[in-house]
Amino acid sequence: MPEISPADFQRLRDVRATQPGLVQQTLETRRKRSLLADDGKLFIVAADHPARGALAVRDDESAMADRYDLLERLVVALGRPGVDGVLGTPDILEDLALLGALDGKVVVGSMNRGGLRGATFEMDDRYTAYSAAAIKRAGLDFAKLLVRVNLADAGTAATLEATARAVSEAAEQQLPIMLEPFMSEWQDGRIVNDLSPDAVITSMAIAAGLGESSAYSWLKIPVVDEMERVMAATTLPTLLLGGDPSSRPLETYAKWADALALPGVRGLVVGRTLLYPSDGDVAAAVDLAAELVHTDSKKPVTA
């Protein structure tokens, strides 16, 4: 299993302090791969949560606060067979590049992180991380953005306009872009996403129509009830957002397996729940998810 030594972290800190130009060089020279695996599927580990101020995992409000611990977990995950790549903001992806963890991986740059968790302006989700042009310059493979639509919050309008621009720019760069849509609302001072099938279908319809071209657009959607009907709502390639399997693992994994077998579903994107499993075994949690993506989805699920 890959490990990071104290010397690796020391070099990372030294490079950041004394050789910042090496960050771009490292990204440019990393070993690339095709977007999809040989089976046409894709399994991505997500770690773009901290940039939105979302550090909690289940009951631990600061689980993702220790950057060294997070990087160690990511390196373990990326070293497991069947893990195709990682999703993150520039700070995390550049750390991983300097640690040598991005070679042969699909690297997804996260774009809008300005809708900070719990902020009054959360729905005005500014593009504060990557742009499509920056993702292309860094030699990354994929862009990702979040599209939360709140019909009772005017901040949604600016977010939709900015998102349409980002989709257009990605298409111009011939850069695949992953749109993660939700119908959202304020409840007791916080944003809650509507996970009913009808709401997910509505969010997909809105997201798919954004931008001057949908040629490079992908969707990233949650696994909800009636997934067959949900997937009938789009022809765009779609990745699944996995929920937390810790409370009902067999039920959750079975739902993932059923959804992965549907036409148009290309794989799975999972973040905190696999990087911080309740039993602490990152490798085992990641291996189970990878097996679901890259083997026969109709095989019985065991945990």
Contact status, residue 133 vs residue 99, Cβ threshold 8 Å? no
Beta pairing, strands 238-241 & 142-149: unpaired
Look up the CATH number of the domain holding residue 252: 3.20.20.70
Residue 11 and residue 31: Cα distance in Å, rounded?
A: 21
Length of the chain: 303
Domain count, the chain: 1
CA max distance for the chain = 54
Residue 130 Rama label (left phi>0; alpha psi -120 to 50; beta): beta
**Does 45 score more than 80 pLDDT?**
yes
Residue 262 Rama label (left phi>0; alpha psi -120 to 50; beta): beta
Listed residue (141, 137, 214, 226) closest to 175, CA to CA: 141
- Does the residue 301 lie in any domain? no
- Does the residue 302 lie in any domain? no
Q: What average pLDDT does this structure show over 50-63?
A: 90
- Does the residue 100 lie in any domain? yes
- Does the residue 8 lie in any domain? no
Q: What average pLDDT does this structure show over 50-75?
A: 92
- pLDDT score at 248: 73
Query: Which residues span the domain enclosing 223?
Result: 24-294
Q: What average pLDDT does this structure show over 283-293?
A: 94
Q: How confident is the model at residue 247 (pLDDT cuts 50, 70, 90)?
A: low
Residue 225 and residue 205: Cα distance in Å, rounded?
A: 18
- Does the residue 242 lie in any domain? yes
Q: How confident is the model at residue 58 (pLDDT cuts 50, 70, 90)?
A: confident
Q: What is the DSSP letter of 57?
A: B
- Does the residue 45 lie in any domain? yes
- Does the residue 129 lie in any domain? yes
**Reported pTM:** 0.93
- Does the residue 33 lie in any domain? yes
Q: What is the dihedral of CA 285, 286, 288, 293, to 10 degrees?
A: 150
